[in-house]
Structure 1
Amino acid sequence: MAVCNADYRFVWVDIGQFGSLSDCSIWNNCDFSRMLDEGEVELPPPKCLPFTNILTQHTFVGDEAFPLMLYMMRPYSKRQLGDAVRVFNYHLSRARRVIENAFGILVSRWQILSKTICASPRSATLYVSALVCLHNFLLTEQLQAYHQPKAHVYCPAELVDREDENHDFVNGFWRNETGTGVLHDITRLGSNNSTKSAQIMRDLLRDYFISLVGEEQAPWQYRAAFRCSNKCFQ
């Protein structure tokens, strides 16, 4: 289980949990979950949404498996799919694609991760930790060569998922190299009880996306969101 930034670099990882544990147990037992609940993680201070005076929290982005909290935004359920909800879920999915790409890059470049690691649990944990560090180092080096595309050997643009000029989704090459079975979506984590404040903030973000300000910044969002939603229901 991991968190990454917009540059596909991992900023927190939890490695070495027992495979017999449920996903809910892994999340509830990890230090990061506890620290978030107890307010020990130094998140950036609240900030106004672009071109508004609407103050919102900085949050992580997760899928349906994670609880809705002020520090964690998850999509609306498929039972709530009005137009505004579809647009919100589309934007959340675009943001969450970053962590999928981060894992895809890691596994495609270090293929020891694409199968069972033949080592003791302690050694396997150290191997994965070392590969995460190397992954971050190589991406940092690549960022420093931003204006030299030929130097982008570790993560060329076509390796990761992206959208073309029409905002159609294009699979990254890592999906061909690893197979989609390598990465597993975690299952629903417990009851997913959400706080009233988190619900209010999610609704606020939903309304912002379909406001005049939001539409000006992403005039293509309806077409892309409905196309994505229709594919999900086919």
Structure 2
Amino acid sequence: MCAKIKATKQKRMWCKEWLRRREDIGSHMTILRELKHGHEADFINYMRMDPNTFYKILSKVEPYIMKEDTNMRQSISAEARLHATLLFLSTGCSYRSLQYSTRISKQSLSAIIPETCKQIYEVLREDYLKTPSTPEEWKNVSNDFWRMWNFPNCLGAIDGKHIVIRQPPGSGSYFYNYKGTYSIILMAICDANSNFIYADVGVNGRVSDGGVWANTSISQRIVNHTAGMPEDTKLPGSDKTLPFVFLADDAFPLQRHIMKPYPYQKQTTSERIFSYRLSRGRRTVENGFGMLANRFRVFLAPINLPPEKVDIMVLACTALHNFLRKDEINQYSQPEGCLETECLSDGIVAPGEWQQTSADLLGLQVVGRNASIEGKVVREKYMEYFQGEGAVSWQNKFLNDSGNVSYNV
């Protein structure tokens, strides 16, 4: 009997030689450190933030993402891990492409980026993504809405956005939405400065807007009266006592604490004015999503990652958005034309550039939700207020014959 000859299999290296040289001269990390000293403008153009901001974030997450060297291999530094993660979020390039610029294998990137996103969210959420929980904290949000957007007793603007993903293997139509794509939904509330004060992500794209909102923790706390919301109070300059409300669009149910526009068909002048004043306040969440997609361009194309990894990535981006908006606003300013704006002198609203470029972040458009009787009463009282004591001098300029806001398109 012939002896069996075992084919010798060539042993594979644990890491390719060119990947191990990430710390050598000419590597991406070397360029990053060189730009840090004396080339700040180029650093900002490259990383979408200045060196101080990058290393401030690094100081927060480094204790949680740094790894120890072993006898077998040198670990990937915390600096390189954060650099790769922010580069992925800001460009949306694939792991395969990113490995050549970071000298980190795509297999390692697939573990490093979700882990770093999770730690970014964990270290930032307490200070930068905190939902108000006391009447005083909610009133601070309300005061800003009245001062900046002329809507009283407003606790935030609500919207839901589809984050488009590649169809997960074996998922069938579970993530398939009405627009013909696969997605998970980001449900968020923004304050008057377009900062996120609440974010819930992960519900599959098939679920309706009402179903998403009703199952969020904040919605359940509102229903159970455990959200810490203030008691009903008088509107500025008026004897009308009304509840504090959130501003929403047609996709949401009209309730005591949720205001949405009147149906667009056959609106009266008073109803049109109310709808304009509400849509003006809702601009904060629309612009919030616009800034998110403009700075973190990973959202501009279907994300080819498992849904659970997309969830934590989205939460990390919302926390980073707030961090940059609050602490590094000069480095997070938006290009001219990016945000939706209005000209009070001629009554023209200019849609933001993000409305054309971020088609994958379209809002939920389902209409016809049942309205509660109490919600209708509250809306009518707000409508009367905007026609009387709460009127602003320019509000009639923004109405056209169809009852919609005038856009410069």
TM-score for the superposition, normalised by structure 1 = 0.84
1:195 equivalent in alignment to 2:372:
yes
Task: Select the residue among 147, 150, 154 that pairs with 2:332.
Answer: 154
Which amino acid is the alignment partner of residue 361 of structure 2? L
Deviation at 1:138? 0.4
In the other structure, the counterpart of 1:47 is: 233
Q: Does 1:214 align with 2:399?
A: no
Q: Distance in 1 between matches of 2:322 and 2:404?
A: 36
- 1:155-191 deviations in Å (ceiling 9; x for gaps): 3373321112423212334335x34x222221437x6
Identity of aligned residues (%): 29
Deviations 1:188-212 (A, max 9, x none): 37x633332221111111111111x
How far off is 1:83 after superposition? 0.7
1:109 Cα offset (Å): 0.5
**How far did 1:45 drift?**
2.8
Deviates more, 1:19-28 or 1:66-75: 19-28
Equivalent AA in structure 1 for residue 326 of structure 2: T
User: Match for residue 299 of structure 2?
Assistant: 113
What's the offset of the Cα at 1:66? 0.7
2:192: which partner in 1? 6
Superimposed CA distance per residue, residues 108-131 of structure 1 (whole angstroms, 9 cap, x where no aligned partner): 100001112222222211111111
CA–CA distance in 2 between the matches of 1:22 and 1:230?
A: 25
The aligned residue for residue 381 of structure 2 is 204
Q: Secondary structure at the match of 1:226?
A: coil
Contact 1:114–1:182 (Cα < 8 Å) also in 2: yes
Q: 1:106 to 1:13 in 2, by over 3 A?
A: same
Unaligned stretches of 5+ residues in structure 2: 1-186
Which amino acid in 2 is paired with 1:52? S
Q: How much does 1:60 deviate?
A: 0.3
The answer to whether the aligner puts 1:163 opposite 2:349 as a matched pair is: no
Q: Is the 8 A contact 1:46 1:58 kept in 2?
A: yes
Query: Which whole-Å CA distance do the structure 2 matches of 1:90 and 1:230 have between them?
Result: 8
The equivalent of 1:183 in structure 2 is 361
2:57 equivalent in structure 1: none
CA pair 231-4 structure 1, distance change in 2 beyond 3 A:
closer
Per-residue deviation, residues 52-103 of structure 1 (Å, max 9, x unmatched): 1211111000011111111100111123501100111111111111111000
Kindly indicate whether structure 1 or structure 2 has the higher relative contact order, using CA contacts under 8 Å at least 6 residues apart: 1
One-letter amino acid of the structure 1 residue matched with residue 190 of structure 2: C
Task: Give the CA deviation at 1:134.
Answer: 0.4
Report the Cα offset of residue 11 of structure 1. Answer: 0.9
In structure 2, C-alpha distance between the alignment counterparts of 1:41 and 1:48, rounded to whole Å? 20
State whether residues 341 and 349 of structure 2, in contact with CA within 8 Å, keep that contact through their aligned partners in structure 1: yes
Report the equivalent of 1:141.
327
What RMSD, in angstroms, separates the aligned Cα atoms of the two structures?
2.5
Partners of 1:168 and 1:48 in 2: how far apart? 32
